[in-house]
Chain A
Amino acid sequence: GENVEQHPSTLSVQEGDSAVIKCTYSDSASNYFPWYKQELGKRPQLIIDIRSNVGEKKDQRIAVTLNKTAKHFSLHITETQPEDSAVYFCAASGAGGSYIPTFGRGTSLIVHP
C-alpha cells in the first residue's frame, strides 16, 4: 500500500519568515495530494490540494509543488503569521482508484511573533 513520509515533525519560525514542509510518497499511481491544517482542538481543514497533472498551485500565501518523478510534494507558506501555528498534514490518494488518503504523521508549525 501507499506510504507517506512527512518532514520535519516540528518547525519553528519567526513571524514573516517562510516555512516549507516536505512529503514523499511511495506509489507512483497516486494522483491527488491534499494538505490539511489542524489547529489545537479543532478539525483538520483542507487548505490546498494538487493533482498529478499540475506541478504547482498557489493560493495567496500558500503554495504546493509536486515532483512526480521524485515522488515528493511540498507545502510553502510565505510571510508566516502567528495564526499559521498549527499541525499540518499531507496526504496522498488515487492509487488503484482508491479515494482513501494515506496521511503523513504531521508537522507542528510554530510561528513566533
Chain B
Amino acid sequence: EAGVTQSPTHLIKTRGQQATLRCSPISGHTSVYWYQQALGLGLQFLLWYDEGEERNRGNFPPRFSGRQFPNYSSELNVNALELEDSALYLCASSFRGSDVQYFGPGTRLTVT
C-alpha cells in the first residue's frame, strides 16, 4: 500500500511570492491535515480537509489556504511569503472519523 506522498520535495521562493504544495493521501483516506514544522519547534496544525471541505484551521493567518479535490488529494497555498514561513510542511491523512494519522515526507519550503 502506497503511503502519503507530497510534492515538491523542496521549494525555494522569494519573499512576497506564492507557494503551492501538494499532497496525495493513502488510498481510502478522506481526511487530509497540513502541519508546519519550523526548525526547533513541534508540529503546528494548519488545516484539516475532509470530503472536500475545510473542517478546521489552526492559528495561522488567512494567507495560508488550501483545498481538497474530489480524489481527496489536497493543495496548500501560501500567499505573500514571509521569511518566517521557511519550514517543513507535512501532510497527513486518515480514514473519515479516525484519529490515527499517517504522515507524508514533507515539502521543505525556503523563503529568501
Contact = CB atoms under 8 A, between A and B. Distances in A.
B99 A44 contact: no
B105 A46 contact: no
Nearest to B43: A103
Given A102-B45, A106-B42, 15 more contacts: A34-B100, A34-B101, A43-B90, A44-B90, A44-B103, A93-B99, A94-B99, A98-B56, A99-B31, A99-B94, A99-B98, A100-B48, A100-B58, A104-B42, A105-B42
A101 B103 CA distance: 13
B42 A32 contact: no
Given A46-B101, A46-B102, A100 B90 contact: no
16 contacts: A32-B99, A36-B103, A43-B90, A43-B105, A43-B106, A44-B90, A46-B100, A46-B101, A98-B56, A99-B31, A100-B45, A100-B48, A100-B56, A101-B45, A103-B44, A104-B42
Contacts of A103: 42-44
Nearest to B108: A41
Contact of A89 (B43, B45, B100): B43
Nearest to A105: B42
Interface string B55-90: 010100000000000000000000000000000001
The 5 closest A-B pairs by CB, nearest first: A103-B42, A105-B42, A103-B43, A43-B103, A99-B99
Interface of B: 3-4, 31, 33, 41-45, 48, 56, 58, 90, 94, 98-106
A42 interface: yes
Nearest to A102: B45
B33 A100 contact: yes
B66 to A, nearest CB: 15
Given A99-B31, A99-B99, A100-B48, A42 B41 contact: no
Contacts of A93: 99
B95 to A, nearest CB: 10
A49 to B, nearest CB: 7
B102 to A, nearest CB: 7
